Structure 1
Amino acid sequence: MKWKELMIYSVAPLGGQTIGKAASREDAWWLCCRYGLKPFPLDDASAVGLEDAENGAKVWTVPCEHTQYPYNRAAFENRRRDGLATLENGLPAWPIAEENGVAFQTFKQRIKRGWSGERAATEGVWEIAHNPDDEWEVIALENGLSVRAYRSRVQAGCPENIAATMGLGWRKW
């Protein structure tokens, strides 16, 4: 079964308001963890249930210590980031981007540029290839400087020998 064919339902802590969407019991449980609601252990898969809501839609209900969204910093950041963009199936795109190693600032900039949530979360990050023939680039790598940092210093007008050997104060040369 492809991920696009999954049935997506809302998620709510038992006795609380909807906090997001998930495709399975485990995903619903993890969403509650992610948002700081402290769900009870998932020892018994029947603890998380699929129930009918007042409006007739189905909702995953998760027994949690908290029924309201607690505003601790980590939970707040997760909720804010999850709200930036969604995948085609309606789930938040940020957790997928996080799994794929996309930095949050990169993800956010992609969304700002008009990329779909799907593309922003799944498209890899460009790696700059090291040129082993460039002796100063080799020295920069030996000094713990990345290829990107070295090249941006040179492009900004810094001589290669200084760009490869200077620390953070390279602009004072």
Structure 2
Amino acid sequence: MLLELPVSVVSQMLCDEALLNKALKRALTVLTSSDNSEPVSHTDDAASVSSDSLGEQLFDLIDLYNTGHTQKITGMLLEQKKEAVLQLLSDHSLLEEQVKIALKTLQEQGDEATDVSDSSDRDEVESIGETLFSIVYQLDPTHCADITGMLLEMDSGTLKQILSDRSMLEVAVQRAKSALVL
């Protein structure tokens, strides 16, 4: 499973023991969870795969690239149609290409300074993401991963302001929901 990843990612994992351990744990989780259920066919059962599940799978794969923009790139790629996301999950070379394009776009926009996922305090970022996800889940459990990913593209100051004002958060969730391509 790990050898199906792009060479650059495998090389990074071989040089970084923590990254390798993280990838091994994820692979073992996938393998042990798939032992208990029938494999999902991407072509036959594509409609039944939830958006949250796709988002989690995509996040895990993108995180292996160690770009520092995992949340943002996941949100960007989840804006595509479900069929395109399924193709990204099954074709690692296509995923690598899309990650490179997204990363280049982020760098051209100069978002490094405002990207929440790049802040020096990873615990704060994780806390904001978890808090945001739990609130968005209450408002829209079906699309909470997609909406959370989209909202995490905002700068940290705006996110903190939205989290402190429930009505602003509800408006932001509605806007993100209307922007979703389902």
| TM-score class normalised by the smaller sequence | under 0.3
Bigger radius of gyration: 1
**Greater fraction helix:** 2
Relative to the length of structure 2, the TM-score reads 0.27
Structure with the bigger percentage of strand: 1
Q: TM-score, normalised by structure 1?
A: 0.28
